[in-house]
Chain A
């Protein structure tokens, strides 16, 4: 038994070409790189929202396609880049996932909103009354409601202000540590990458240019591509 949580081997999908890497249990992996690099595409492969055209993915040492898809998607929770909420109230959204597995208890709502820095008054709010940033937070809480073991986040704070970013990052950190959640995070923000990531993957045009400890990538990049990227996204 290896202690690999995920292993991707020679993956091809759209722009993503010949990508291989492994990820350990409880690792916090950040995927970053310019727009169109294939970050979202790569992230969607982890919970089979999409399947690779070629290559194999292992999850807990078994091929990903041996798992039941609904259970896998519950266990490996994805927060999509665009926060599309279901019509109804915030609570309707939070209970959608758990209800599919008969696991919803109404007292969960307040705690879930707490993770994303929203008060319990929001539970009964209609989603049409939410701001862009609030929608994004509800979308994150909705995935957390499923109690995932692995959390896949696609730019989860892209439309939030500094203060909320800090609060949510703090809660994510707590969640990851207390509940032993593993994290794969796609982000444009190098600050966020530094704060949340233990390891990082720098992608460009569908290829992994650099993979290593996050600190090392930021302080001592090896490739020209990453050096330039860091310069133009300077901290």
Chain B
């Protein structure tokens, strides 16, 4: 017998949303609109996805899977891009980065027989990889801008000593990656201890044995860890160049905006 959550009890979740909302209201955090909007939007999105997934799962995998993946990657790209709108070619860079990562991870999963080529397995697993990579890329973009701003003097000093942009950006890129990857590393460290990871929780609730659930979780956790690291590195290595012109001169964000 399949387990289900009664629909009416979902409405009780509103109580949970009210807690941060009340706090935000009380401390005048200015997040009220954000919280309401995110909740409404998130809920609507999930129901919509549920409906779409039902249809897609009935399509031929060879049609349904690429279709769904394209949609996911496109949405993720639009979202991550927001953090680096000033930078040139940011959309195409993120898009190609996400496609590369998805292809690599898919090849690994299917190649080693970890999952089968069915929408039920590929889509949720890919969703987690793409979602986490999207967040990491956004973080890198945001962080990179502030690091370049903060390290301006040091970068100018390095350039004036004869460093190329790649040599002069070394410290800045390293700091960016460090900052962007800390949540990722922390998550791997505490997995299973602090938080029972989402997928495992889902599988166990769905009636799968804990051991099988752990196996899936291991695959997904490690996949997420590697793809997040990889996507952060890819986007850093592509984007730092745009902080310089061809004459090895450091640009300000204003100048970058103007030139793109």
Which A positions have Cβ atoms within 8 angstroms of B? 47-51, 65, 69-71, 73-74, 77-78, 80, 82, 84-87, 96-97, 100-101, 139, 142-143, 146
0/1 string, B166-181, CB within 8 A of A gives 1: 0100010000000000
How many cross-chain pairs have Cβ atoms below 8 Å apart between A and B? 61
A48 to B159, CA, bound (A): 10
Q: How far is the CB of B252 from chain A (nearest CB, A)?
A: 12
A84 to B154, CA, bound (A): 5
- Decide if A86 touches B248 in the complex (CB within 8 Å): no
- Decide if A146 touches B171 in the complex (CB within 8 Å): no
B158 interface hit (Cβ, 8 Å):
yes
Extra inter-chain contacts (17) besides given A47-B160, A84-B153, CB under 8 Å: A49-B156, A49-B159, A49-B249, A50-B249, A69-B248, A70-B163, A74-B162, A77-B160, A80-B160, A82-B153, A84-B154, A85-B154, A96-B163, A97-B161, A101-B162, A142-B157, A146-B162
Size of chain B's interface in residues, with CB distance under 8 A?
A: 16
- Secondary structure call for the B interface: helix
- Decide if B247 touches A86 in the complex (CB within 8 Å): no
Q: In B226-260, which residues have CB < 8 Å from any A CB?
A: 247-249
- Decide if B160 touches A49 in the complex (CB within 8 Å): yes
- Decide if A87 touches B167 in the complex (CB within 8 Å): no
- Decide if B162 touches A100 in the complex (CB within 8 Å): yes
- Decide if A51 touches B249 in the complex (CB within 8 Å): yes
- Residue with the highest number of chain A CB atoms closer than 10 Å, among B154, B160, B163: B160
The 10 closest A-B pairs by CB, nearest first: A84-B153, A97-B161, A74-B162, A70-B162, A78-B160, A73-B162, A84-B154, A69-B248, A84-B157, A100-B162
B118 interface hit (Cβ, 8 Å):
no
By beta carbon, the residue of chain A nearest B161 is A97
Residues of B within 8 A of A100 (CB): 161-163, 167
A77 to B154, CA, bound (A): 15
Residues of B within 8 A of A86 (CB): 154, 157-158, 171
Q: How far is the CB of B130 from chain A (nearest CB, A)?
A: 35
- Decide if B164 touches A70 in the complex (CB within 8 Å): yes
- Decide if A70 touches B248 in the complex (CB within 8 Å): yes
A-B contact pairs, 29 of them (CB 8 A): A47-B160, A48-B248, A49-B156, A49-B160, A49-B249, A65-B247, A69-B247, A70-B163, A70-B164, A74-B161, A74-B162, A77-B160, A78-B160, A80-B157, A84-B154, A84-B156, A84-B157, A85-B154, A85-B157, A86-B154, A86-B171, A87-B171, A96-B161, A100-B161, A100-B167, A142-B161, A143-B160, A143-B161, A146-B161
Residues of A within 8 A of B161 (CB): 73-74, 77, 96-97, 100, 142-143, 146
- Decide if B156 touches A48 in the complex (CB within 8 Å): no
Residues of A within 8 A of B163 (CB): 70, 96, 100
- Decide if A48 touches B247 in the complex (CB within 8 Å): yes
Residues of A within 8 A of B249 (CB): 48-51
- Decide if A80 touches B156 in the complex (CB within 8 Å): yes
Residues of A within 8 A of B171 (CB): 86-87
Residues of B within 8 A of A96 (CB): 158, 161, 163
Q: How far is the CB of B179 from chain A (nearest CB, A)?
A: 15
- Decide if A80 touches B153 in the complex (CB within 8 Å): yes
A41 to B192, CA, bound (A): 57
Q: How far is the CB of A80 from chain B (nearest CB, A)?
A: 6
- Decide if A97 touches B162 in the complex (CB within 8 Å): yes
A142 to B163, CA, bound (A): 13
A49 to B249, CA, bound (A): 6
A135 to B99, CA, bound (A): 47
- Decide if B157 touches A139 in the complex (CB within 8 Å): yes
Q: How far is the CB of A147 from chain B (nearest CB, A)?
A: 11
By beta carbon, the residue of chain A nearest B154 is A84
A77 to B161, CA, bound (A): 7
Residues of B within 8 A of A51 (CB): 247, 249
Residues of B within 8 A of A146 (CB): 161-162
